[in-house]
């Protein structure tokens, strides 16, 4: 009994006059079989005429095909790529292929990754400066909470003004890291000084009442200086609107939410202090009993 072995083998057949050959002639090519007989190629193979790539390259051990195209300058390259990728995912979901960006889009993605690391470094440096200034490791976290407010405002502003989140917008977000914390610094520093003679609630109320005008004045002067630049130049529109809307949104929420977080942090610190005092007392009491034995 013979064991039948079925294998898939890639075979390339190219006659000497392949440019003029027809598919019918290829199907009629004679092939010798195991019984020393002659059969036609079409008897053992299914032959179809398909369009193939004129050049196939490799990258990281994988076959790749590079495609380039021009696009409408009114739309960003990232928008064009997202549209092309959506169409690609729809048409080729059943194939083991991937679509990756190259050219300007690839450079933009690399720049975004570098910007993200720079932003993380900026947040860390701001935290270290605040920790030294306030002599606290917890209060800087309350101040840094204004950064998400600024980012949310920036994204909303870019959407409202019909702008995309590009490289310049990312630069604006990194700038916001050092700008939006100023209002929180003013409030918390004033509240800390008032805590020496007031309760936490009265200190917060006094800080919001006395520092509101300076906070709004600083924000309005900054927005007033950047807004004409954003409106007058398309080149600076992304970074301008990012700072304007991010700072405005963060300032408004800072006066409302930062005092709440400050009070909650004070309550948490008091609870931790009491818990540490109880644990310390129990530890000392245990040592005294052990010494008396």
Name the nearest CA neighbour of 99 among 136, 66, 124.
66
Asked if the structure places residue 26 within a domain, the reply is no
CB 237 within 8 A of CB 162: no
Asked if the structure places residue 88 within a domain, the reply is no
Is residue 274 pLDDT above 50, yes or no?
yes
Name the nearest CA neighbour of 179 among 258, 247, 257, 256.
247
Domain tally, the chain: 1
Asked if the structure places residue 58 within a domain, the reply is no
Is residue 169 pLDDT above 80, yes or no?
yes
Please give the mean pLDDT across all residues of the chain: 79
Pairing of strands 38-40, 62-64: unpaired
How far apart are the C-alpha atoms of 180 and 254, rounded to whole Å? 9
pLDDT digit string (tens) for 213-234?
888 888 899 899 998 888 888 8
Q: What is the pLDDT at residue 16?
A: 60
Q: What is the pLDDT at residue 82?
A: 73
In this prediction, residue 242 has a pLDDT band, given cuts at 50, 70 and 90, of very high
The CB density around residue 252, as the number of other CB atoms within 10 Å, is: 15
Asked if the structure places residue 42 within a domain, the reply is no
Is residue 257 pLDDT above 50, yes or no?
yes
Q: What is the pLDDT at residue 155?
A: 92
| Average pLDDT of span 45-68 | 71
Mapping DSSP onto H, E and C, the string for 42-104 reads HHHCCCCCCCCCCCCEEECCEEECCCCCCCCCCCCHHHHHHHHHHHHHHHCCCCCCCCCCCCH
How far apart are the C-alpha atoms of 222 and 212, rounded to whole Å? 16
Asked if the structure places residue 38 within a domain, the reply is no
Q: ∠ CA(256), CA(262), CA(266), 5° rounding?
A: 150
In 3-state terms, what secondary structure has residue 286? Answer: helix
Q: What CATH number does residue 205 fall under?
A: 1.20.1640.10
Q: What percent of the chain has pLDDT over 90?
A: 7
Asked if the structure places residue 190 within a domain, the reply is yes
Q: What is the pLDDT at residue 285?
A: 60
Is residue 5 pLDDT above 70, yes or no?
no
Backbone angles phi, psi at 39, to 5 degrees: -130, 165
Query: Could you tell me the end-to-end alpha-carbon distance of the chain, in angstroms, rounded to an integer?
Result: 92
In this prediction, residue 44 has a pLDDT band, given cuts at 50, 70 and 90, of confident
Domain of residue 282, residue span: 104-292
Q: What is the pLDDT at residue 154?
A: 92
pLDDT digit string (tens) for 80-121?
777 777 777 776 666 677 777 666 667 777 777 888 888 888
Q: What is the pLDDT at residue 272?
A: 73
Name the nearest CA neighbour of 142 among 271, 264, 274.
264
pLDDT digit string (tens) for 113-145?
888 888 888 889 989 998 998 888 888 888 898
Asked if the structure places residue 181 within a domain, the reply is yes
| Average pLDDT of span 52-67 | 70
Asked if the structure places residue 271 within a domain, the reply is yes
Q: What percent of the chain has pLDDT over 70?
A: 75
In this prediction, residue 1 has a pLDDT band, given cuts at 50, 70 and 90, of very low
CB 171 within 8 A of CB 279: no
User: The tokens 């998400």 sit on which residue?
Assistant: 148
Positive or negative: CA dihedral 60, 64, 68, 73: negative
How far apart are the C-alpha atoms of 293 and 286, rounded to whole Å? 11
pLDDT digit string (tens) for 178-222?
888 888 898 888 988 888 888 888 888 888 888 888 888 888 998
């Amino acid at each position: 009994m013979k064991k039948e072995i079925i294998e898939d083998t890639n075979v390339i057949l190219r006659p000497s006059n392949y440019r003029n050959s027809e598919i019918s002639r290829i199907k009629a090519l004679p092939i010798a079989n195991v019984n020393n007989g002659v059969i036609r190629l079409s008897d053992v193979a299914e032959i179809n005429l398909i369009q193939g790539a004129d050049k196939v390259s490799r990258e990281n051990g994988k076959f790749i095909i590079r495609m380039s195209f021009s696009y409408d300058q009114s739309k960003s390259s990232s928008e064009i790529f997202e549209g092309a990728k959506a169409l690609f995912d729809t048409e080729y979901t059943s194939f083991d292929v991937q679509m990756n960006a190259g050219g300007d889009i690839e450079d933009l993605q690399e720049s975004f990754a570098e910007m993200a690391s720079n932003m993380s470094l900026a947040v860390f440096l701001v935290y270290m400066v605040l920790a030294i200034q306030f002599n606290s490791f917890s209060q800087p976290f309350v101040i840094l909470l204004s950064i998400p407010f600024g980012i949310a405002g920036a994204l909303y502003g870019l959407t409202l003004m019909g702008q995309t989140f590009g490289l310049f917008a990312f630069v604006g977000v990194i700038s916001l890291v050092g700008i939006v914390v100023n209002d929180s610094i003013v409030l918390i520093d004033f509240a800390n000084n008032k805590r020496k003679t007031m309760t936490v609630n009265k200190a917060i109320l006094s800080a919001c009442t006395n520092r509101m005008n300076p906070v709004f004045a600083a924000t309005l002067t900054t927005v007033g200086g950047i807004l004409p630049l954003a409106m007058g130049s398309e080149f600076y529109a992304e970074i301008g609107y990012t700072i304007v809307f991010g700072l405005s949104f963060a300032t408004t929420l800072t006066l409302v939410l930062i005092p709440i977080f400050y009070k909650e942090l004070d309550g948490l610190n008091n609870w931790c202090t009491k818990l540490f005092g109880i644990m310390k007392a129990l530890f000392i009491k245990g040592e005294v009993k052990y010494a008396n034995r």
